[in-house]
Each structure stands twice: as C-alpha cells, then as structure tokens.
Structure 1
Amino acid sequence: MVDRSPRVRASELTGRAWLNTGGRELGWPDLRGKIVILDFWSFCCINCLHVLDELRPLEEEYSDVLVTVGVHSPKFEHEADPDALAAAVDRYDIRHPVLDDPELGTWQAYTARAWPTLVVVDPEGYIVAHLSGEGHVQGLVSLVKELVDEHEAKGTLHRGDGPYVPRPRPEGVLSFPGKITALPEALRAPGAEGATYLVTDTGRHRVLELDSTLENVLRTWGGTEKGYLDGAADGALFNEPQGLAVLPEAVRARAGYDVVVADSVNHRLRGIRLGTGEVVTVAGNGVQRLLDAEGARTGDPNVIDPAADPLEVSLSSPWDVVWSDRADAVIVAMAGTHQIFSFDPRTGSLAVFAGTGNEGLLDGPTGDAWFAQTSGLAVDAAGTVWLADSETSALRRIDFRDDDVVVSTAVGQGLFDFGFRDGDGERARLQHCLGVAVLPDGSIAVADTYNGAVRRWDPASGTLSTLAQDLQEPSDVLLEERGEGEDPLLLVVEANAHQVVRLPLPKEARFVDEGASQTQRPPSLIAGGTLDLVSRFAAPSGQKLDDRWGDPTQLKVSSTPPEFILAGSGAAQGLTRTLTLNPEIDDAVLHITARAAACDGEPGGEIPDHAACHLYQQDWGIPVRVTGDAADESEMVLDLRGIN
C-alpha cells in the first residue's frame, strides 16, 4: 500500500467556467466517491496533448470510478479566450470535464510548476499523487487499481457515470484543418479542372483533395474516426494528420509513393500513392520517441542508427514536412522532441537534422541549437528552411553554408515572450505561430495563429508587418500561383473557422503595435546566492529503478540568460544539484530536465529478463526572480513523480 500520511485535502476547484458538463459547475461534493485525476494543461503544449492521449485508455477502462478533470491554465494570452478554449476541447476530442482557469488560481493552489501536471485525488478528497510531465500512465494504472481495491473495501468508492456531458460537434466540409499543399498537374484527380490542393482535415482524421473552389472534395484518404491502418484510401486510418509534402518526381519514382504525411498522434510518417489511393507507413513504430534506458544515462537523444529500419524508429508528434533540395531529404518538424529530423524516402534513412532536444530558443550550429515545438516549414529559392517555432513564438531559419548548417532567429525572444508588434526583428513579436510560406519577393508569410493574423517578414529590411487580421487560428499559409498578369493570392488554413480562404497580398506594408507580453505566470521568488534543486521520484508500484549500469537518474540544467548560472549547469547523474547564481542578474528562466529509468520488477529483487522498462521525463521552464530575501526559496523541489 502507498503511505499517504500526512493526508492533504484537495483544494477547491475555482475558475471562470466549466466545459463538458452541460453548464454545471462542479465541486468536490460532486466528485466524492470517485478517483479524480486533475490534468493541468494548456492547449498550446505538445506534452499536454500527449497526456490527453495517454489518459484515454485509462479513462475508458475505469469509466465507472475514475473522473479526469482538465484544468486549463493558459500560457499564452489567446488561450485565455473562452471561445478558443471551447474550440480546443472540440479539436482534441476531450471527453471529460474541463475547468477554465484563466487567472491560474487552481494552478497555484496545487503548486503546479509545469505543463502538464497531474494530481490524483482519492474518493475521500485527499491528494495521493503529484506528477509532472508525461509518461506516467503505467504508474497511474497501478495507483488506480490500488485505490479501487482500498476504497471499495472501505465503502467509499461510488460506481456509476461521471459528470461528463458531450458538446455538439462542428459540421461542414472541413473540421479543424491543419495544413495545405498544392498538387502538380500530373498528380491531380482525373478530370480535375484547374489547380487542386491536398488539405489535412485534422479534426476528422483525413487527407482531402479539394478543387480550385476549396469547397468540393475530389478524393479522400482515411476515415472520419481516428486510428492507424494502412491500405486502400477508403479503409486507411490516420490520427490527427498535419503536414504534407509532395515529393519531387525523381524521388517519387524511387520511393514508390508521392506524398509524405505527418501523422502526428500516431507518431508516424505515412505515404500516399495517389495513383492507386494506397496509404503506407514509411517511418515510425507508433511508440512516442523518448530516450531509452541507456539514453537516460548518456543524455544523448540525437543518435539514430543510419541502418535502422525506419518502421522500427520511434518518432514524436511529427507536425510538418517539406522537401529540401539542399538536404536532399524531407525535413520533419518533430514537435514532440523539439527537434528537426531528416528522412530520405529513397532509403528510409532517418536522422536528427537539428536540435539537442532541449526546449527553448538557442541559435548556432544545428547540433547545438534549441527549438520549441516547431510546427511549420517552408523552403525558399536559396534553399533556406524557414521554421515556425510555436512555443517561442519565433520565426527561425536554417541556412546551408559552405562548411556548416546554422540556425538563426528572425523574430522571437524565448519561451515566455510573445505579443502582436510589427517592426524590426528585435522589437517584433508573434504569438504561437504554426505555418510559414515563401512569397514571390522572397519575403516570408507567417500564420500567426494565436494573434489570428498573417504576418510578413522581409529579410531584406529586417522588419515584420501585418498582411491580414481577424482570422480564427490560421494554422498554415500557401502561395497560390496565378495566371500571367494576375496577382498571386495567399491561401490561409483557418482552423477554427473550418475553412481555407483566399487573401490578396496587400501592395503596401501595414504596421500594427498591440504590444509585447510575457506569460502571466508568477515567477518563483528565490533568495539568491545558491539554489538547491531537488527532483523527487518514486518508482511506481511493481517497478524499480534500473540501476544495472549505475545511477539511472539525471538532471540537465541551463538558464536564460546563460550567465545567470555561474556553476552547476549542464547534465549529470542524480536528481539533486546546487546552482551558484550570478548576483548581477535578478530575473531569469531556469530550464530543467529530470529523467529516471525504471523497469518492471519488485524493489530489492532482480529485474527479470525482457522486463518492460520505462523512462520518466519532465522539462521545466521556470521564471525566477532573485529577491535577496533569505525568507524566499533557497531550495526548489520539483516532482518528477511524487506520491503522498
């Protein structure tokens, strides 16, 4: 049994409104007798989206005793919009009550420090577990089973339906479309007149070919239910497909398929043979990519065996894909690991193309760069790859130089900086951008998603301007080539309006300044001098730490600005660290990654051969403020997995 003393009663659930309850406000008396998982999330956060999918089987298996309550605690200003939250609940097919917590009141009451955070409350209303990050489902299964047995024996478990009330679903040709690309004439549907476009109908888990009106469906791949299945167009299944890339003709001939699809929730790349309609898996084993047990010790997420079978390699939420002549490969925005991958359709070879796996904004050689949930890609005439780095609200670029490949930032400051401001790159701000496209003059159109706008970055002048406003979460942009003498148009995927629209390109730049913002998350107040970091981890029941090759735990620590930490940064084994802080810097962000590897087996016993092993990992980006007050924190405790 888990030791749960001293017992701490769950704090009240306070917020602006409830969703998925039929308008009913919930409190702990309404949830008494149920095991409750509080899921603190934000709809921008890829790790939070992973947890939503991790929890679904658990929710289904224990539907009569378990209630998940999503506590939506926004990071970005747009996420505090109740209409945007309602759309996100629909888009991600969330089938449990959701509390809208725009002021972070419930977040702070439960001392959450990271998205996602999970808090488990027993049927009597006491907290029994506090977990950060993803990958906890196996431990939650064990804990829920234990709580069911304990409280059924005590008579405090109440079986029956929970408080979830479904919302009506949107109707129309498209449902939360994600990405768009044009088909060359040779690949269009037979008999099609004029241009046609492939669009990912993400909310219905399909790929569609639309005619030139953008309203009529010519061909469909996938069903309207999520799943994973290869085969004929009408039998194949996707799960929230996103990016699309049409391969060059010579590559198509060797690969045996025409289009690469980023099948995000399936953690796979899929191929479509347009002639036959067949859907095939071309990379990914369906298991979300994390470091394996050895990687947890070495801290190296960047090694993929070049000879590995691409169907045996784990991926993590691929969000966009684009062909790059300079890389001679498909470039993949691997949002779930904050990295950029390359994929060669001719050989199946996969590689980490850029990014260490650290979440943040750091420029430099591709092997050193940091990204943050990159979600949009485009290639310009010079071969430069442009990236929409959503969690840093940044427009980034990868340049191919004579001797190396380098990452730089055009617009963006970091994980907690955003806004709606045009002007020079240092001053300009975006808000969670998801798509990019190259315009005829070499400038870059940006789907500035959470600002409901399309912006234009001019590399020649180094300025950002606004092309269009008042859109409903634009998720992608594409230049539409027109006939001779006709002005080009911009196709905009307007996700929350369930449509693709055409916009003219303005003749003159328009500059908007609605200000710059930072995430309204209160900084942790620390005394200064030194700071002790402690990440608590307890292996779930039925598991033990995998110490066969030494300490299976690790902390990786850095900061923005880097000079904030004078000593103690970097990666090392163990879950404790003492940092020496720069006395000349008062405000900073700590970037902390904690990892632990555990395998099935009882504490004190041997780990059985072929035992299943699990990696527990959480990334924190924690704003801190040095006060000089000895009463403030000199120790920061972060729960990788904590049981009360």
Structure 2
Amino acid sequence: MLLTRDVTTKTRVRAPELVGRRWLNTGGKDVTLQELRGKIVLLDFWTFCCINCLHVLDELRPLEEKYSDILVIIGVHSPKFEFERSESAVETAVSRYEVQHPVLDDPNLDTWQAYAARAWPTLAVVDPEGYVVANMSGEGHAAGLAVLIEELIAEHEEKGTLHRGDGPYVPPAAPETELYFPGKVLRLPDGGFLVSDSGHHRLLELAPDAETVRRRFGDGERGLVDGDAAVARFSEPQGLTLLPAAVSKRVGYHVVVADTVNHVLRGLNLDDGSVITIAGTGEQYMVGAVDNVAIEPGEPRRADRGAYDGPAATIKLSSPWDVLWSESTRTVVVAMAGNHTVWSFDPLEGTIANLAGTMNEGLLDGSAGEAWFAQTSGLAADASGRIWTADSETSALRYIEFEDADVYLDELGEDPEAGRTISPDAAEIARPRDFGSISVRTAVGEGLFDFGFRDGPAEAARLQHPLGVTVLPDGSIAIADTYNGAIRRYDPARAEVGTLARDLAEPSDAVVVGEGTDNDPFHLLVVESAAHRLTRVAIPAHAQTVDDGAKSTSRPSTDVAAGTLALDIGFVAPTGQKLDDRYGDPTWLQVSSTPPELLGEGSGGAEGLTRKLSISDGFTEGILHITARAAACDGDPVTGEVPEHAACHLYQQDWGIPVRVVEGGATELALDLRGAS
C-alpha cells in the first residue's frame, strides 16, 4: 500500500497516554502528554539490544539539538530480552548510549501495545494538540521527520497552539571513572593492553597490571577526527586487532579499530599515537541502496561475496563492532553488526568486501552467499583458522570455515600483479588469491526470539545476547554471555556448553593472560562493561553447570486464520520526496516464517509492498519474518520529477510477528513502514 500524505483526509487520532514502570532523565518526575501540549512529541520505541534502535538514537541527535525549544523526544524502552526488563539494565543503557531525552521504562509493553508498535524501532509523532500525525518503523527517517516538523511548526504557529521553551529532560550525573562502558580489549606484544573506552570515545593503553594508564588516544569528545593522540576523535569505538609486524611496516599503523558509531575503521600507530581513517566514509551503509540510489530493479539485494566491495575509503560501512586479523584470509575480518554481515578489509590493497551474509537478519547456515547473521558482535580465530562469531541478536555462537584457499607469496622486491615495489625490510607475506569455499555453521543457538541460561548439550544450551568470543588454550571457546552476566565455555569436541563465571556486569569481551605455569596460570581478563572495569577470571578445569531455563521473547501474538493472509505494508513518502521509480519498482518485500512450513505460499523476496500469504493448516503458532524496503528521492514539489543528482533515501524495517492460528482470526495483516494519520 503506497500512500501520499493528504492533510484534508487524515483521521485525527488522540495519542494514548504514556504508561510504564518509571521515568528516567526527568529528575524523578512523571511526564504526561497533557503537560506536553504545545510541543511536538516524538516517541521512539526502542530496546537497547537492537542495533537499528541505536542507529535511530544517532539519527535523532541533530533534530533534538535543532528543535530543542519545540520538540520533545521521549524514548519508550520496550524490551526484547529478559535482561532488558531489569530496572538497572535500562538505567545503564540510557547512560551508555548518551540518551539526552526522557525515557519511559515500559517493561510490560503497555505503551508499546497502546500505540500498536510491532517492531524495534518504531517512531510516532504527536502534534501540539495531542493527536498522532505519523508513525514509522525502522531507520533512515531523519530527513522526512525534519520536513514534517517544519510543517507542524508552520501549522501550529499559525493556529497559536505551539509553545516554545524547555522540555522535561534532566541530565543525570555521569560517574567519574577512568573507564566508562569499555567495549573490547587487546593484548599488546609487550604484555600491556589496549582498551576501547567506548563511553569516553577514546582508547586507553594500560600497563601489564591492566590498571595503570600509559597513554590515551583521543580527546574524549565524540567525533571523527584524524591526527595525533591529543586531537583524534572517535564515536563509541569497539573492536581492536593487531596487524602482523610485516603488514604494519607496509601500511604505517599497527592496530585496526572498529569505530562503531562513525561507521568507519581507523588505524592506530602505536609508535607516535597517530590515528587515521582507513575504511568507510563516515556515512552509514543502508541495505538495499548503493550510493543512496536504489539498485537495479529485480535484484534480490543480496550481499553475495564480492557484490559490495571496492576501495575502502569509498565504501559505506554500518556499525562495525569487532575486527580480527585472520590468518585464513590474511585480511582483517569485520563484524558488520549494522547490516548483519561479515566483511573483509585488506590493509595492503586498501580494499574492503563483503565476506559472508546476505544482509537479512536471522539464523541461517550455508554458504557465504546464503547465510544469515544477526548483529554479529564478537570475533575470534582458532588454531585451524575457523572464525568464531558471537551472533548477539540470535543469542548464538557460530563459526565460519574456509576450504581450499589458494595462497601465494608476495616476494621481496617487485610484485608485478600488484604493480608496486615492496619495501626491502618487509618480510614475505602469505596472502590469499582466493578464499576458497566459505561456509557458516551454528554451534549454539536457535533464532531471533530464543534465549536463556542453560548449560549442557549444544542443541539444548542457551545464551542471552553474547557480545564477545575468545579461544582458550585448550581450543574451547569462551563466550562473553553479556545479558546473562556470565562467561560461558563451548567445548567443540564434546559439543557441550558450561559456565566459567557469573554475576558479572555485562561482560563484552575477554583475552587470555598468563603463561600457563603453576606460578602464572592461564586466566581471563574480562571487560566488565557496565561496571566500567577489567576483571580477572580464573579458568577452572571443569565448568560449572547452570540451568535457568530456555526462554522466548514474549510479545502479544496476532491472531490469524488458516488460509489466505493478505499482507499490506503502508508507506508514505515524506513531503518533498517521491518513490524513486526511475529504474523500476523501488520497493522490496522479503517474507519467511518459523517454522518454514507455516507458510504454504508467499515466502521469498520480490518487488512490491503487498503479498498474498497462505497460512498452512495444522499449525497453532509461529513467527512471520518480514522485511520491507522502499527508496524515495527528493523531487520537484510541482512536477514530482526527480533531478539527476537528487538526494535519495532508503527506508527499511524487519518485523518478527508472532502469530496464533485460530478460527476466526484475521485474514489481513497491515504494517506501516512509514504512515500518516
């Protein structure tokens, strides 16, 4: 269903009151919509595990600053995972992500249901008279929101119903700690450590005692600035990896940094402390768009290996969360959390390419061009060259295998294929000409809505939003099981999961330290992110056994009838934009289900935003997985034509809709990608 905004026919719907457990960032006061009359109110339904929600927080910052006297943004925190229902966890997340507006803690999804939200993130706009005037799902709505806000300002200034002035936001006091929500840790060759001090937007170099600060890289302000250690700026940096010495000599930096919120990779020179940008443009890669223009019609928008590659400085990235030097690829592997893929950065060639993943969110094993990931946030390589991944949104431990890689040596001197002269002081560097066959497999995990805290056989074990993985000296895998507050261990030989430690504050990464002797046994240095510290954890000979049960995300189900179900996605192009139909249909709809047999017909991807689905007989419940995209460009307000070099915008949302199959259930399912009331 493609809509155009028509203010003469829109239905005026009174905004439901805001109901929840408590308010944050208000100085302890409750907030009501009645008190906000005269303001434009933007409700942001989010949950802090969701990378798309974090993208929206950053998209809204400029609007929040520009319209501070008339716009009140209210975050409605509606949890997905059990851990996200905790009062302290919500409070921590609001501080971690520098949320600078009031937040309603909605653990029972009361306000979520009142506004008929179905996905994270969802946005709703309430006008100064208290009526809902727009709702939208997903990210990428900032430009359209800016236009809508200007329209509402003009309309309500003329009516005299717009009131300027301060809103209800009261900033909390930040703790004075050396580390502030650290993300990842890297052991340096001299025994020291490099830590991504994410909450302070900088890196810290620590002495071998893991406490004494030797150096700071970055001035502590959010930004994207290259230069020496005193002036460089990052934005919530996360992953760190050390390059081999021979590679460092060639490229001029030693450490690759995943500068997550800047959507870039940075290079850190440990000798002089300088920082440079080595991959990414600083703009977010939006799935389904290339250079902000919809790709050719009929393309399934898959990210087959090599389909998204080129000079690293020209390719847009999306929230790179971790990085790893891989001997299997002789490149830096990148966990691209923002579009659910794994990429490969070649520092010698200065190129980057998609390595595995289709950019669809979920848990699906197979070849590199078929596999689905879900917000991969941690990487580690074992002795065989396999790359282990923490797939956070599916609460899964997975791995990538390489077969039949064709490797060659760059000889000292001239390299005719690369067309360059190699420095004579550089060692030979084995590099892959072809990565060979790449496959993705799951060791632990079930899917997007299954999690828990359960040890035992891998097929029954459960994690909860893990962010880090580490290979232990015995070849087993330590997992930073973040939302369970635990370090877990997966034994590949026995395919079993145990628990090494618990009662940690959101552990996000770990490194092995020690020499493995009686006087200096192996142990883990764990990033205890929510406690703003690094903590030493023993590696016991035998893991303890925990069974707190398996859980599924609890959300209201939609009752549907068996048989035909008409799916209709609403999309309203913002004022000043039109659908970009220069290359054919600019919309795309992907549908699947859990279990797959729930859908008799209608699964798969195709153009358009409507679809006839067939709900199979014999099922009582399941989940519909729906991805919708639409591309719109700035057009002439009179003719509607799109200029040749117009700015274009990609709108996308993924829904996971729990359904119950009941007699008399709905035969239609309507969702809004971007709607207006």
1:119 corresponds to which residue? 124
Aligned to 2:222: 226
* Corresponding position of 1:446: 479
The one-letter code matched in structure 2 to 1:310 is A
Take 2:130 and 2:152, find their aligned partners in 1: how far apart are those partners?
12
Question: Which residue is 1:97 aligned to?
Answer: 102
1:591 is displaced (CA, Å) by 1.4
Q: 2:609, 2:8 → 1: CA distance?
A: 22
Structure 2: state its 5+ residue gaps: 1-5, 405-435
Cα separation, 1, equivalents of 2:11 and 2:103: 29
Deviation at 1:242, TM superposition (A): 0.2
Check whether the contact 1:258–1:271 (CA below 8 A) recurs between aligned residues: yes
The whole-number CA distance in structure 2 between the counterparts of 1:174 and 1:396 is 30
Matches within 5 A, 1:420-435: 420-435=453-468
Corresponding residue number in structure 1 for 2:199? 203
Distance 1:445 1:574, change over 3 A: same
Q: Secondary structure at the match of 2:151?
A: helix
Match of 1:213 in 2: 209
C-alpha distance in 1 between matches for 2:307 and 2:359 = 17
Which amino acid in the other structure matches residue 595 of structure 1?
A: R
What secondary structure does 1:142 align onto?
Answer: helix
Q: 1:59 Cα deviation (Å)?
A: 0.7
Instruction: Report the counterpart of residue 575 of structure 1 in structure 2.
Output: 609
Contact 1:119 1:130 in 2 (8 A): yes
1:191 corresponds to = none
Deviation at 1:509, TM superposition (A): 2.0
Residue by residue over 1:565-597, the C-alpha shift from the partner in whole angstroms, topping out at 9 and shown as x without a partner, is 222111111110001222133222211111111
Amino acid at match of 1:515: G
Counterpart amino acid of residue 45 in structure 2: F
**Structure 2: distance between partners of 1:456 and 1:527:** 43
- Whether the aligned pair in 1 keeps the contact of 2:294 and 2:580 (CA below 8 Å) is no
Would the aligned equivalents of 1:4 and 1:128 in 2 still touch at CA under 8 Å?
no
Measure how far apart 1:420 and its partner are: 0.4
Deviations, residues 208-252 of structure 1 (Å, cap 9, x unaligned)? 111122221111111211011001111000000000000111221
Sort the Cα spacing of 1:404 and 1:584 in 2 relative to 1 into closer, same or farther, 3 A. Answer: farther
| 2:93 corresponding residue in structure 1 | 88
Aligned partners of 1:34 and 1:452: how far apart in 2? 40
Q: Report the CA distance shift for 1:307/1:241 in structure 2 as closer, same or farther (over 3 A).
A: closer
Alpha-carbon distance, 1:604 to partner: 4.3
Instruction: For residue 143 of structure 1, report the CA deviation from its aligned partner.
Output: 0.3
Among residues 491, 501, 522, which one is paired with 2:535 in the alignment? 501
Q: Which of the numbers 540, 547, 561 marks the counterpart of 1:527? A: 561
CA separation of 1:33 and 1:528: change in aligned 2, threshold 3 A:
same
Q: CA deviation at 1:517?
A: 0.6
Structure 1 contact 295–301 (Cα < 8 Å) conserved: no
Residue 295 of structure 1 deviates from its aligned partner by: 2.8
Q: Equivalent residue of 1:308, what SS?
A: strand
1:161-560 matches, cutoff 5 A: 161-185=166-190, 195-290=191-286, 291-292=288-289, 293-295=293-295, 297=297, 298-302=299-303, 308-402=310-404, 404-482=437-515, 484-485=517-518, 486-560=520-594
Secondary structure at the aligned position of 1:139 is classed as: helix
Report deviation, 1:296: 7.2
Residue 586 of structure 1 is matched in structure 2 by 620
Match of 1:150 in 2: 155
Say which SS state the counterpart of residue 120 (structure 2) adopts. Answer: coil
Give the distance between the partners of 2:524 and 2:310, measured in 1 at CA: 40
Q: Deviations over 1:143-199 (max 9, x none)?
A: 0000001111111111000000000102111000000010113xxxxxxxxx20000
Asked whether the equivalents of residues 307 and 354 of structure 2 are also in contact (C-alpha less than 8 Å), the reply is no
User: CA offset at residue 605 of structure 1?
Assistant: 2.7
Deviation at 1:299, TM superposition (A): 3.2
Structure 2 counterpart of 1:137, one-letter code: A
1:530 positional shift: 1.6
Offset at residue 551 of structure 1 (A): 1.2
In the alignment, structure 1 residue 70 sits paired with structure 2 residue 75: yes
Q: Which amino acid aligns with 2:503?
A: D
TM-score by length of 2: 0.92
Report how far residue 315 of structure 1 moved: 0.3
1:560 Cα offset (Å): 2.0
Deviation at 1:564, TM superposition (A): 1.9
> How much does 1:528 deviate?
1.7
Moved more, 217-226 or 114-123: 217-226
Cα shift readout 1:295-317 (whole Å, capped 9, x = no counterpart) = 37423242667873211110000
Residues 1:3 and 1:452: Cα distance change in structure 2 (over 3 Å): farther
User: Partners of 2:453 and 2:655 in 1: how far apart?
Assistant: 26
1:345 and 1:584 mapped to 2: Cα distance? 54
In structure 1, the partner of 2:138 is 133
| Structure 1 position 525, deviation (Å) | 1.4
Equivalent AA in structure 2 for residue 619 of structure 1: D
State the alpha-carbon separation in 2 of the partners of residues 306 and 462 from structure 1: 35
Deviations 1:370-429 (A, max 9, x none): 000000000001111000000000011112234622111111100000000000011100
The equivalent residue for 1:48 is 53
Counterpart-to-counterpart distance in 2, 1:363 and 1:488: 33
Letter in 2 for 1:263: D
Q: C-alpha deviations, 1:278-327, integer Å up to 9, x for none?
A: 10000000111012233374232426678732111100000000011111
Aligned mates of 1:546, 1:372 — CA distance in 2? 29
* Counterpart-to-counterpart distance in 2, 1:221 and 1:585: 56
SS at match of 1:502: strand
- Matching residue's letter, 1:284: G
* 305 and 115 in structure 1: CA distance in 2 versus 1, 3 angstrom threshold: closer
Count, aligned residues: 633
- Specify the code of the residue in structure 2 equivalent to 1:494: E
Secondary structure of the residue that 1:31 maps to in structure 2?
Answer: coil
User: Which amino acid in the other structure matches residue 252 of structure 2?
Assistant: G
2:330 and 2:500 map into 1 onto residues whose CA distance is 32
Cα deviation for residue 46 of structure 1 reads 0.2
Match of 1:25 in 2: 30
Give SS of 1:181's match: strand
Cα distance in structure 2, aligned partners of 1:506 and 1:608:
65
The answer to whether the Cα contact below 8 Å between 1:447 and 1:474 also exists between their aligned partners in 2 is: yes
Distance in 1 (alpha carbons) for counterparts of 2:309 and 2:221: 34
Deviation at 1:2, TM superposition (A): 3.2
Number of the residue aligned with 1:192: none
| RMSD over aligned Cα atoms | 1.3
Q: Which moved more, 1:605-614 or 1:336-345?
A: 605-614
Output the CA distance in 2 between the equivalents of 1:547 and 1:366: 31
SS at match of 2:310: coil
Q: For 2:153 and 2:573, how far apart are their aligned partners in 1?
A: 20
Report the CA distance shift for 1:3/1:339 in structure 2 as closer, same or farther (over 3 A): farther
Tell me, yes or no, if the aligned pair for 1:35 and 1:67 is still in contact at 8 Å.
Answer: yes
Measured in 2, the distance between the counterparts of 1:386 and 1:590 equals: 28
- TM-score, normalised to structure 1, is 0.96
In 2 relative to 1, CA 17–608 (structure 1 residues): closer, same or farther, beyond 3 Å? same
> Which AA in structure 1 matches 2:353?
A
Q: Is 1:634 paired with 2:648?
A: no
Judge conservation of contact 2:309–2:315 (CA < 8 Å) in 1: no
Answer whether contact 1:37 1:118 (CA < 8 A) is retained: yes
Alpha-carbon deviations, 1:418-454, whole Å to 9, x = none? 0000000111000000001000110000000000000
Give secondary structure in 2 for the equivalent of 1:599. Answer: strand
- Cross-structure match for 2:651: 616
What secondary structure sits across from 2:295 in the alignment? helix
